[in-house]
Structure 1
């Protein structure tokens, strides 16, 4: 996973907060534990938001390249070869793109129980506004680990790792990693944006 700060957060977030609140007011999806925007962020037509989305994709791509030690194109070709689907020819252009995106608004008492994002390579969360810290819990991804007591607990077993972020921070986690938003207890609102990211390849 990675956590980093958006360089243009100071000039973007105030306007972005207003935009999100206008988008969820009266037309948002009410889940009982938070309010979510209807429609994809890409349909909003906001240049600052579009630039942020491109930056999120670039950061996810750079994270993968750093973890693997090769370019996205090379990683893609190796993956295809392992599957017996080598293409030959020129290397493709591979990027990380958003397949779905939305805004979440939390008010006092709201929370989001543990969940993950199916069919998603990376989940990206960007914090727009909050009166205090923005907390995110990361959970042990192994199923049923709590049903086995070996007498010795390894570091992190059955525990949540709590990230404490601030507006302007971006968090990138694998789509399979369960995560949760603990109960928001402050006055005001906590606003975040989320993207489901996947890889896209095209001929170079």
Structure 2
């Protein structure tokens, strides 16, 4: 015979396998964003791009930290501090100092351009910064979505226990920081003004104290 549960007993409900995603607003001021946008658009005019997961848009070489350009250097300094803060919060109690190695590139999307599902699995952290989110008011325009890393699952009527994606409508000055292995994509952009983004991969190296 199965014993009856004690009165007042309750099941322990756990929320497992959280994925860290940091969203930081207002990382740079308007003047700094304008300076970055001008530099990136000039780079695009020079035609020094590469083919990656961007469909229809422009993707720079991934060597921006080596360019030694003032607006970029200022931004990368801020970016590393933001990543350092997220890393410290996620890894509280670690007994080592972390050194952050950076790789970064720029992308420009025009109307109809999008980004295919992909990841940056070789990076510990990845980041996306919206230098200029463009001019479309449609919330779905160029929306970035991160895909649930838990494998396929059956939906449960009345309870979406495991959402398949988490989406954010880009805003100028928004920085997103997430694990490099987290797959993500960007829906077609529908604005008239170019959407300008800086993306980065960050490797964390252990440095003994």
TM-score, normalised to structure 1's length? 0.79
Distance 1:116 1:45 in 2: 27
Q: 1:139 aligns with which of 147, 159, 171?
A: 147
The whole-number CA distance in structure 1 between the counterparts of 2:43 and 2:154 is 48
Q: Which residue of 1 aligns with 2:69?
A: 46
Report the equivalent of 2:4: none
1:52 Cα deviation from its structure 2 partner: 1.2
User: Residue 128 of structure 2: which of 121, 125, 129 is its match?
Assistant: 125
- The 1-side partners of 2:162 and 2:194 are apart by 31
Partner of 1:29: 50
Say if 1:132 and 1:166, in contact at 8 Å, map to a contact too. no
- Once the two structures are superposed, residues 58-91 of structure 1 have per-residue CA deviations (whole angstroms, 9 ceiling, x without a partner) of 1111112122333xxxx2x4xxxxxxxxxxxxxx
Whole-Å separation in 2 of the counterparts to 1:188 and 1:56:
25
Matched, 1:191 2:199: no
2: distance between equivalents of 1:118 and 1:104? 19
Structure number with the higher helix fraction is 1
Q: Is the 8 A contact 2:136 2:192 kept in 1?
A: no
User: Deviation at 1:162?
Assistant: 1.1
Q: Alpha carbon RMSD of aligned pairs, Å?
A: 2.1
Alpha-carbon distance in structure 2 between the residues aligned to 1:5 and 1:177: 21
2:171 is aligned to 166
For structure 2, the residue ranges without an aligned partner over 5 or more in a row are 1-20
2:9 match: none
CA distance in 1, matches of 2:201, 2:131: 17
Q: 1:64 to 1:38 in 2, by over 3 A?
A: closer
- CA distance in structure 2 between the aligned counterparts of 1:123 and 1:44, rounded to whole angstroms: 20
Q: Is the 8 A contact 2:55 2:115 kept in 1?
A: no
Q: How far, CA to CA, are the matches of 2:27 and 2:61 in structure 1?
A: 27
How many residues align? The count is 180
- 8 Å contact 2:55–2:116 — kept in the other structure? no
- Aligned equivalent of 2:161: 155
- Structure 1 residues without counterparts, runs of 5 or longer: 78-91
- TM value normalised by structure 2: 0.77
Q: What is the distance in 2 between the residues matched to 1:203 and 1:161? A: 36
